């Protein structure tokens, strides 16, 4: 009898753990869908406003949002595959895609650095944009909410892939803050060099995110 009870207890615990993981994966999917929706808005507004205002800072922010959008889409795929048929295939795709995303971010970092240096060299200013100020300001609390939720669920289900994506959300929050402060400074002081210097401040964030993606930050076993 004790042996049977022990087996039953183990089975019940295993079932409960599986159910907890299923709920965690479902919650992760909800957060990733929210991320996907927000990144569409953020990318469109930032890129449109950046091109219209010739703002390198906003163009970089919008391009990074596109990378974040692709990352969210890939993680949605990865989580759905786990729910339906296991994780091995999704992790393989995730690893390849993270290399592509890392390459794009390295290229973006180089573009931003060269553009910012050129702007400083030629003393070329950029126009202020209210739309860019609004979207970067709104992104700060949104990214905080998403990052906090993803980190909590990542610990719950033991997913380093989700944790890596959460770190991307944290980085995006930092980028949003930099862009927001840059636009405020540009509006208040109307100095030509603020956008270029702010763009250079973005480069370390972009390089770090690119390195994490290239090294397999999204390809995780959990």
| Cα 192 from Cα 185, distance rounded (Å) | 10
**Predicted local distance difference test score (pLDDT) of residue 83:** 77
Q: Tell me which of 38 and 98 has the higher pLDDT.
A: 38
**Predicted local distance difference test score (pLDDT) of residue 98:** 66
13 found inside a domain: no
- Residue 82: count other Cβ atoms within 10 Å of its Cβ: 23
Q: What is the pLDDT of residues 21-66, one digit of tens each?
A: 778 888 999 999 999 999 999 999 999 998 988 888 888 889 888 8
192 found inside a domain: yes
pTM score above 0.85:
no
195 found inside a domain: yes
Residue 98: CB partners within 8 Å, gap ≥ 6?
A: 71, 74, 213, 214, 216, 217, 218, 219
**Predicted local distance difference test score (pLDDT) of residue 10:** 45
Tally the domains of the chain. 1
12 found inside a domain: no
8 A C-beta contact, residue 56 and residue 119: yes
Half-sphere exposure of 171 (CA within 13 A, CB side): 25
Distances from the Cα of 196 to the Cα of 1, 13, 57, 121, 123, angstroms: 75, 57, 7, 10, 9
Half-sphere exposure of 197 (CA within 13 A, CB side): 10
187 found inside a domain: yes
22 found inside a domain: no
Domain membership of residue 43 as a residue range = 27-214
Q: Tell me which of 216 and 121 has the higher pLDDT.
A: 121
14 found inside a domain: no
Q: What is the pLDDT of residues 71-83, one digit of tens each?
A: 788 888 878 877 7
51 found inside a domain: yes
Four-CA torsion 209, 210, 211, 214, nearest 10 degrees: 120
8 A C-beta contact, residue 32 and residue 79: yes
């Amino acid at each position: 009898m004790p042996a049977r009870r022990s087996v039953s207890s183990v089975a019940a615990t295993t079932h409960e753990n599986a159910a907890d993981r299923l709920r965690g994966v479902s919650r992760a999917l909800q957060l990733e869908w929210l991320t996907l929706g927000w990144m569409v808005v953020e990318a469109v507004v930032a890129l449109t406003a950046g091109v219209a205002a010739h703002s390198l800072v906003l163009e970089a922010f919008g391009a990074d949002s596109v990378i974040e959008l692709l990352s969210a889409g890939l993680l949605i795929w990865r989580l759905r595959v786990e729910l339906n048929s296991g994780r091995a295939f999704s992790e393989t795709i995730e690893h390849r895609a993270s290399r592509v995303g890392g390459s794009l971010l390295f290229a973006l970092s180089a573009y931003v650095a060269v553009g910012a240096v050129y702007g400083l060299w030629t003393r070329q200013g950029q126009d202020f944009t209210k739309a860019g100020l609004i979207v970067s300001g709104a992104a700060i609390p949104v990214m905080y909410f998403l990052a906090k939720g993803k980190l909590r669920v990542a610990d719950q289900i033991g997913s380093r892939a989700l944790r890596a994506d959460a770190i991307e959300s944290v980085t995006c929050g930092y980028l949003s803050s930099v862009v927001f402060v840059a636009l405020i400074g540009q509006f208040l002081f109307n100095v030509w060099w603020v956008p270029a210097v702010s763009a250079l401040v973005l480069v370390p964030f972009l390089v770090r995110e690119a390195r994490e993606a290239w090294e397999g930050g999204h390809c995780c076993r959990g």
